[in-house]
Chains A and B, each alone.
Chain A
Amino acid sequence: MKCTVCRGPAVIDLRRHNSNFCAEHFTKFCTDQVQRTIDEFDMFRPGDRLLVAVSGGKDSLAMWDLAARLGYEADGLYIGLGIGEYSDTSADHVRRFAEGRGLRLVEVDLATEYGYDIPTGSRAARRAPCSACGLSKRHVFDRVALEGGYDALVTGHNLDDEAAVLFGNVLHWQVEYLGRQSPVLDARDGFPKKVKPLVRLSERETAAYCVITGIDYIVDECPMSKGNSHLGYKDVLNQMEQQSPGAKASFYFGFLRSASERFEAEVDEARSDLAPCERCGAPTTAGVCSFCRLVDRAGGTIPPGGSTTSGDPASPVAITQPVELRTSAS
């Protein structure tokens, strides 16, 4: 098998692109795909300050590496979730990555900062672990991005992630969520700008990128995610992809191109009910936001300063007091 570009020995075949690549040209393929996505969706520009949410897994570390490789100013944000040895190992991967490249890493530990961890919070709130985890991470992502004055919060969601979410939202006709499937959500209503530059790369491609470029990521899956529906959707989509290469990209990008606008009204309607949480100031449609209720049930505390100064949900900076942040490098 030869590289489509240079005719040297290929290390990977991409059936949906009808291409094979050597290590050098696969790396170029990935950087080109990401730059194309950033530009096409006007995600951010040179000089913008980026906050990349990193877990120690392949996607987020690939995202951070690609952002730095493309010349963007990108800090990392790691959240200590308290999931036993898995969290300890993932933190080690992230710290080594940051230190090895001289990148600035911001760390927030849930137990230290809020007095609970994901296993405790999940049990206490009677939420599925992935639900409690996602809720916690979104709150901290938003808070640190706003407090730090970052121009965009960058996540490592890949094509498989987005296609699986779309599949689930269509399966259950979650029309409000369907209106939020864009890989770029502008800053508004007290939320930071959120972008997903990896949506043109499949999960297999981000993993291959890490192997080829020597990124040492945590291979083991989170022990609390077993059996979640999201993984089941991915399995179904990959069975279709095997039969029909390009099926996932066609499904996801076809939706963005032809149908996503039809669900914007539902999103606007949901936004009209947003107001600052009485406890932390984050935007919510309830008096007290889901995150604060989770912390309450888990026996934790919201740190002082988790309230807005202006009370204006559209204010770009809603947090007055900084959380304790640990940083490495600078």
Chain B
Amino acid sequence: MAGPMSVAKLMNRLELNRESVLLIRNDTLVPGDAMLEDGDVVEVRPVISGGAS
């Protein structure tokens, strides 16, 4: 996707629930208002886990 774009806008566009994922850039968390630029590589890491034990 083309930047610049805020993290919140990216999550909306990808229809991600902010409770279910973390966004990580260069091993660092990026908050919702951070701006992403062209060339940024961002990991969308799911956080939901676990079976019913």
Contact = CB atoms under 8 A, between A and B. Distances in A.
A203 interface: yes
B19 A241 contact: yes
Contact of B52 (A138, A165, A203, A204): A165
Given A1-B31, A12-B31, A211 B49 contact: no
Interface stretch (A125-133, A262-270, A303-311): A125-133
Contacts of A231: 48, 50-51
Contacts of A10: 31
Given A204-B19, A211-B22, A161 B50 contact: yes
A222 B51 CA distance: 8
Interface string B8-37: 000000000111111010011111111000
Interface in A194-220: 202-204, 206-208, 211-212, 219
Contacts of B34: 1
Contact of A208 (B20, B29, B33, B51): B29
B30 A129 contact: no
B45 A207 contact: yes
B31 A134 contact: no
Interface in A229-248: 229-231, 234-235, 238-239, 241-242
Contacts of B29: 11-12, 23, 208, 211-212
Contacts of B19: 202-204, 238, 241-242
Interface in A104-147: 129-131, 133-134, 137-138
Given A1-B32, A13-B31, A208 B22 contact: yes
Given A13-B32, A204-B22, A211-B24, A228 B52 contact: yes
A330 B50 CA distance: 29
Contacts of A204: 18-22, 47
A219 B49 CA distance: 9
B35 to A, nearest CB: 11
Contact of A11 (B18, B30, B46, B47): B30
A58 interface: yes
A242 B19 CA distance: 7
A2 to B, nearest CB: 10
State which size class the interface on B falls in: 20 to 34
A75 interface: no
State which size class the interface on A falls in: 35 or more
A129 B52 CA distance: 9
A239 B48 CA distance: 13
A58 B49 CA distance: 9
A206 B20 CA distance: 12
A58 B47 contact: yes
Contacts of A229: 52
Interface string A2-15: 00000000111100
Given A11-B30, A13-B31, A204-B22, A130 B48 contact: no
A238 B17 CA distance: 7
Contacts of B24: 211
Given A11-B28, A242-B17, A242-B19, A134 B45 contact: no
Contact of A225 (B27, B45, B47, B51): B51
8 contacts: A59-B50, A134-B51, A138-B53, A204-B19, A204-B20, A219-B45, A222-B51, A234-B50
Interface of B: 17-22, 24, 27-34, 45-53
Given A11-B29, A130-B51, A235-B20, 9 more contacts: A13-B31, A13-B32, A57-B50, A58-B49, A134-B53, A203-B47, A208-B29, A211-B24, A230-B52
